[in-house]
Amino acid sequence: MRKEYDVIVVGGGPAGSTAARFAKTATNTVALFERDREIGIPVRCAEATSIQDLERFVKIDPRWVATTITKARLISPSDQKVWLNLPNDGVILNRRLFDNGLAEIAATQGVEIFTKANVYKIVSDGEQNWEVFVRHLDRDYIVKSKIIIAADGVESRIARFAGIRTQTVLKDIESCAQVLLGNLDVVENQIDFYFSSRWAPGGYAWVFPKGNRTANVGLGVNGAYYKRRSAIEYLDDFINEKFPEAARLTTVAGGVPVAKSLKKIASDGLLIVGDAARQVNPVTGGGILAAITAGKIAGLVAAQAIARNDWSVNVLKEYQTEWDKNVGKDYARFYKIKEWMTELSDDELDEIATLLQKIPPDDINIMTVFKIALRNKPALLLEAIKLFAQMI
């Protein structure tokens, strides 16, 4: 480990590895610190994303893909099933291999990667550099860096260490639990979404197949409802009813932000990316593509700042500008829709499903769903049209 780096990235998820990859140039030094012993574990993700969108950032290794998804069903509280035509093929990833693969790509660019490296404090040295306190393999180091990229997840401490407010109210967090189930009879190219306050108040439950009769089965409970029961308790009931014969292979749980992106994601010598910056789709809770997008923007801006020998907020704020232009403005619209969706009753969800049943299946896509759902909300419908028109 060097005594000083131009850029230090904290966190080895998709946002962190991508940021490190694009921050590295032939003339600078970049390190990535990951607190776990191996990048890619534990997997706290439903692992679904769009293959076409992902290919804009990285060449897909077939080993990363568990299954390809071509069909989706929406299932209402009364068990009405609505088939949804997808705008693009999806994939269920093997996140352990995917995250590891992204880190390997960063390493081939010259990024120095350290696992079991826990950053427990950062302090400004008063000379436009950071002192990064890291425990690596039970030894403590103080490493200097010009720029820190905080990619340390929803529990991010790095941003707080730097004095940036990251608190999120309960209604803007989904408490999620997921089990990898085996011994399942599932359609391998089909994903299912269950909407009901019985299973996931303020959220939804999902069944995402991973091949070989296995599937990620999980749910998210909006924080506003969390005091009633835990996400694990809801999930136990869901699995016991829907998949009583299944074998539970792994269990994960954690929080997913469904908030607006942080107002401040850049300051002097600091950039915040991924879940740490609340860069998650507030409607779906999906964050893989947003994390990679933010990581690329942040990495490029950091590299340019080092080349210019100026890593003040006046330079780094270009990251905030590019994020808002590329993704942030859309996520602000998604947030408005999410606020409405979390208030829907089971009766309202069933009414939407009943109306969709009257439409020819070939004509049902994401836009159709929102046109029906928002038929009495013209302002929100306009926001939805702006969001989804490009996907049809």
Q: What is the CATH number of the domain that holds 289?
A: 3.50.50.60
Instruction: Pick the last residue of a domain from 219, 238, 257.
Output: 257
Domain that holds residue 108: 4-44+96-168+261-335
Check residue 391 and give its pLDDT: 47
Please check whether residues 280 and 361 belong to one and the same domain. no
d(CA 259, CA 154): 11
Q: What is the mean pLDDT of residues 154-179?
A: 92
Average pLDDT over residues 126-153: 95
| Residue 107 located in a structural domain | yes
Q: What pLDDT is recorded for position 79?
A: 96
Categorize the per-residue pLDDT at 389 as very low, low, confident or very high, splitting at 50, 70 and 90.
low
At 388, the pLDDT band (50, 70, 90 cuts) reads low
User: At residue 392, does pLDDT exceed 60?
Assistant: no
**Cα-based distances in Å from 374 to 112, 307, 369, 370, 378:** 49, 49, 8, 6, 7
140 band by pLDDT with thresholds 50, 70 and 90 = very high
Domain end position, chosen among 257, 273, 303: 257
Q: What is the pLDDT of residues 108-133, one digit of tens each?
A: 999 999 999 999 999 998 778 999 99
- With cut-offs at 50, 70 and 90, classify the pLDDT of residue 89: confident
* 151 plus 283 within the same structural domain: yes
Least confident of 95-99, 120-124, 241-245, 364-368: 364-368
Q: Is the pLDDT of residue 162 over 50?
A: yes
pTM, full prediction: 0.94
Q: Average of pLDDT values for 266-276?
A: 97
54 within a domain of the structure (yes/no)? no
- Tell me which of 209, 238, 257 is where a domain ends: 257
In this structure, are 149 and 297 located in the same domain? yes
Cα–Cα distance, 9 to 57 (Å, whole number): 19
Mean pLDDT, the chain, integer: 93
Quote the number of domains for the chain: 3
102/159 same-domain check: yes
Question: Is residue 319 domain-shared with residue 268, that is, in the same domain?
Answer: yes
